[in-house]
Amino acid sequence: MKISRRKMIQISAGTGFALSLSSLPSVLGQTPELNTTTIPSSGQQVPSIGIGARNYRAQGNSAELPVFTETLQTFHSLGGRVIDTSPNYGNSEEVVGNIMRQLSIRDEMWVATKVDRQGKAEGIERMERSFELLGGDHFELMQVHNLRGTSTQLETMAAWKEQGRFRYIGVTTSSDRQYSNMEQVIQNNQLDFIQIDYSLGNRNAADRILPMARDKGLAVLVNLPFGRGRLFQAVGDRPLPDWANDIDANSWAQVFLKYVMSNGAATIPIPGTTKPHHAVDNIASARGRLPDENLRREMEAFIDPLLA
């Protein structure tokens, strides 16, 4: 049975949130187990979907805070673990850290954040502050934000990885203007991860960056997997094509996320997720089948005219 993102909202609103959580797996015909992605540098397996916390920004008694809390609680209760933030995202680290402490889930989460400074001392100060805000004695992943101060920050990050403060290190971008520099960084440094912008409607990273990641044994966090909402605008209210059944997709969000997951690199999409019903919808993409190469080409042929 196909359920649109709009219908998912109606389910969570109309039947009560607790009921929707307990019944959705059977409603969608899915098993509770999530597909996992293997991180090449370690063999660790993590759920194949994460949360991008760029918009987890709120002050004081903001009405958004309970919604953020419910969203992260939903994500966690359904098996989600990977969350990505940055000190560059307003007070996102503070908000995410407080929610994890409130829910007592910090030790169960796979936490990634970033350093966004040029100088060594400033980078160290920034990373120490991230520990204060997010809690814990280590992060799963520390990343150089948008290649800023890459060589300086990677030197510190590598040393802290040796000390056990980071399990993995990497670099990020969300712009193809930085792809050439990203290629050089991948070639010249010992990384575990990269983070890149990639979606069904923005496939530029698949030309060189993602093949390099496969060749170098790097895992990939994927930001902007919905193309800043452009993919949803392109499909509008169209019903899902029949081929969505072949990948167990019940919404357009699941179609778009499954395309990213099936690239062939160790890709983990991290869509911005600030509402509980979106967490339910997105995490369902990590269940069931993924498109093969033939279907990926059909998906591309379907979306391209809509984006033209």
Segment 33-89, tens digit of pLDDT: 999 999 999 999 999 999 999 999 998 889 999 999 999 999 999 999 999 999 999
**H and E: helices and strands count for the chain:** 12, 10
pLDDT at 32: 56
pLDDT band at 198 (very low <50, low <70, confident <90, very high): very high
CA dist., res. 160 & res. 168, Å (int):
10
State which fold the 41-307 domain adopts.
TIM Barrel (3.20.20)
Structure tokens that stand for 149 in this block:
């101060």
Residue 249 burial (C-beta neighbours within 10 Å; 0-12, 13-18, 19+): buried
Would you list the DSSP string of 114-139?
EE--SSHHHHHHHHHHHHHHH-SS-E
CA dist., res. 7 & res. 100, Å (int):
29
Is pLDDT of 21 > 80? no
- Average pLDDT across the chain, whole number: 92
The mean pLDDT value for 204-216 works out to: 98
Q: pLDDT tens digit string along 257-299?
A: 999 999 999 999 999 999 999 999 999 999 999 999 999 999 9
Is pLDDT of 250 > 60? yes
The mean pLDDT value for 121-131 works out to: 98
| Strand duo 45-47 + 36-38: pairing | antiparallel
Domain boundaries, the chain: 41-307
pLDDT at 48: 98
